[in-house]
Amino acid sequence: MKRKNINREEEGESMEIVWQTPANPPQRQDYIFRDGIRYVRPYYFEFISHAKNRWEGKTIVDLFTEEFKGRPRDYYVSAVKAGRIQVDGQVVPVSYIVQSSQKISHFLHRHEPPVMALEVEILLTEPDVLTVRKPASVPVHPCGQYRKNTVVGILQAELDLAPLFPIHRLDRLVSGLLILARNASKADIFRKQIEAGEVKKQYIARVIGVFPENEQVVNMNINYNAREGKSTVEAENGQNCISPSKGKAACTKFTRISTNGTHSIVSCEPVTGRTHQIRVHLKFTGYPIANDMLYLSESVNHRSVEGLSADRAAAMPEFALKPNRCEICVPNSTDDPIEDFCIDPMCTNCPNLAPKGYDGHEEGLWLHCVRYSGPVWTYECPYPDWASLD
């Protein structure tokens, strides 16, 4: 950790704060639980980037203004003057010219997005492997704006389980089986088996309608649009808005497990692993996941940082978090004066726990990982409650 004094110009004094880096492990006391939501107590963090070739020759203020548009230029001027933006560990003037490959640090009061306060249940513990039941809404590992509010972070904070190496990914809103190697050598064994096509995976989904009784195989290319946070398939007739050159090969096998005439529980076996593959292939069959608002809708709203869709949250670059303004050292909620936290004078998110655009009220997808199997191993996870159609 790094300690640094921050000037409070309004009161003519300074406050000492501690900056965290990725090397600082999450702690149990970092979390606040409220109304079924897990929040992370805001903390000071050093975001690090290295100057790209195209940044060379720009002033430090111009660089941030042009590359990280979520903040106004006046903020970056103030941040540079306050030493909140540094180059190679040194405070620089606003006129400083950036050179390629230099280390650029942006010191921020970090507010992580909230997740649902569901337990990360341990399913099986082996000397080299840990399997857990991942709850929906929690990312697997640090990404985008999430660091402590992740499966890996929670397991480290609450059970002192580290290091952990996830051997596969689940989308943030997907629940179910997650396999974590407990050392790098075991993780490498899993990686080689996955790359060799020796690992099979099975999910279940709750879809709209009576899914066909016979096995359905969808072998359609997928194109993922990161800007929209949405995938599309390349239809056989070429009418589905993407060119053949952009799509990546994708294949999924679907088998109906049960139906009640309104919804169906479907077994999903992805042969490939494309972004949103199961979701978009189910939509292509005409039986989308019943609560998947991203693919139930025919259009996707282009949201700003203030109104992120849940699917895009983890993809947002943390180096460009939008600032928010606040007061100094006030409770984080007038309804709960007991739980308070130190508030940064340049942060406008405070006194709220969550960053703008995250109210914590979201629903996990009805998509659940139930099984992974390799050459000599199989790991499984129980079905979720929504898989019962009674």
Q: Mean pLDDT in each 10-residue stretch from start to end of the chain (390 residues)?
A: 52 62 89 92 90 95 90 90 94 96 92 94 97 97 91 96 95 97 97 95 97 95 89 64 66 97 97 94 96 76 39 48 36 44 74 78 91 97 94
Dist. CA 143–CA 139, nearest whole Å: 8
Dist. CA 348–CA 355, nearest whole Å: 9
Looking at residue 320, its pLDDT comes to 43
Looking at residue 318, its pLDDT comes to 46
Looking at residue 16, its pLDDT comes to 67
The residue from 62, 74, 128, 171 that is catalytic is 171
Residue 137 included in any domain: yes
Domain that holds residue 382: 118-300+363-387
Looking at residue 146, its pLDDT comes to 92
344 is catalytic: no
Contact 322, 288 (CB under 8 A): no
We report the CATH number of the domain holding residue 155 as 3.30.2350.10
Give a three-class secondary structure readout of 19-60: EECCCCCCCHHHEEEECCEEEECCEEEEEEEECCHHHCCCEH
Beta strands at 367-373 and 175-181: parallel, antiparallel or unpaired: parallel
Residue 261 included in any domain: yes
Residue 239 included in any domain: yes
Residue 357 included in any domain: no
Burial class for 134, CB neighbours closer than 10 Å (0-12, 13-18, 19+): buried
Looking at residue 47, its pLDDT comes to 87
Dist. CA 294–CA 291, nearest whole Å: 9
Q: Three-state SS for 274? A: coil
Looking at residue 40, its pLDDT comes to 94
Q: Which DSSP category does 382 fall into?
A: P
Residue 147 included in any domain: yes
CA–CA distance from 250 to each of 85, 150, 224, 268, 374 (Å)?
A: 43, 28, 12, 13, 20
Looking at residue 249, its pLDDT comes to 93
Looking at residue 267, its pLDDT comes to 98
Residue 5 included in any domain: no
Residue 148 included in any domain: yes
Task: Please state the domain count of the chain.
Answer: 1
